[in-house]
């Protein structure tokens, strides 16, 4: 009887120890995943902010006045005279090329 009690008691202690170890492993994994989620959320916020700044920069670079200034200043371009415009589809154009002022 004593030997059976000792065997059952040992099995119960081992089962409790195993359950405690599993509990600690799951708790450790939960905390680790929490930190990882926090890192990823910070990265997401950083990327959203970067995307917003790039969208603002792209909108600034697409402004017609800026494009015209770069074309005239840096590239030395100008609006061509109507006689220099050659239509590629064989039809005459009625509108002058470039900006109408």
Give the end-to-end CA distance of the chain in Å, rounded to a whole number.
109
27 belongs to a structural domain: yes
Tens-place pLDDT, residues 61-99: 999 899 988 889 999 999 888 888 888 886 655 555 555
97 belongs to a structural domain: no
Please state whether the predicted TM-score (pTM) of the whole model is above 0.85: no
> What is the per-residue pLDDT for 86?
86
Task: Give the Cα-Cα-Cα angle 52, 57, 60 (nearest 5 degrees).
Answer: 130
> What is the per-residue pLDDT for 50?
98
40 belongs to a structural domain: yes
Tens-place pLDDT, residues 64-74: 899 988 889 99
Q: How far apart are CA 39 and CA 81, in angstroms?
A: 59
The DSSP secondary structure of 2-36, one letter per residue, reads HHHHHHHHHHHHHHHHHHHHHHHHHHHHHHHHHHH
83 belongs to a structural domain: no
98 belongs to a structural domain: no
What residues make up the domain containing 57? 2-76
Tens-place pLDDT, residues 1-46: 899 999 999 999 999 999 999 999 999 999 999 999 999 999 999 9
Task: Give the Cα-Cα-Cα angle 65, 70, 75 (nearest 5 degrees).
Answer: 145
> What is the per-residue pLDDT for 1?
86
31's tokens: 């905390």
Total tally of structural domains belonging to the chain: 1
Q: Give 77's contacts (C-beta < 8 A, 6+ positions apart).
A: 71
37 belongs to a structural domain: yes
């Amino acid at each position: 009887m004593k030997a059976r009690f000792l065997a059952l008691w040992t099995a119960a202690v081992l089962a409790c120890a195993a359950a405690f170890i599993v509990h600690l492993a799951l708790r450790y994994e939960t905390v680790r995943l929490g930190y990882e989620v926090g890192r990823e959320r910070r990265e997401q916020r950083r990327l959203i902010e970067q995307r917003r700044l790039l969208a603002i920069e792209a909108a600034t670079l697409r402004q017609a006045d800026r494009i015209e200034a770069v074309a005239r200043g840096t590239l030395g371009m100008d609006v061509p005279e109507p006689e220099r415009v050659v239509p590629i589809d064989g039809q005459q154009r009625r509108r002058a090329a470039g900006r109408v002022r």
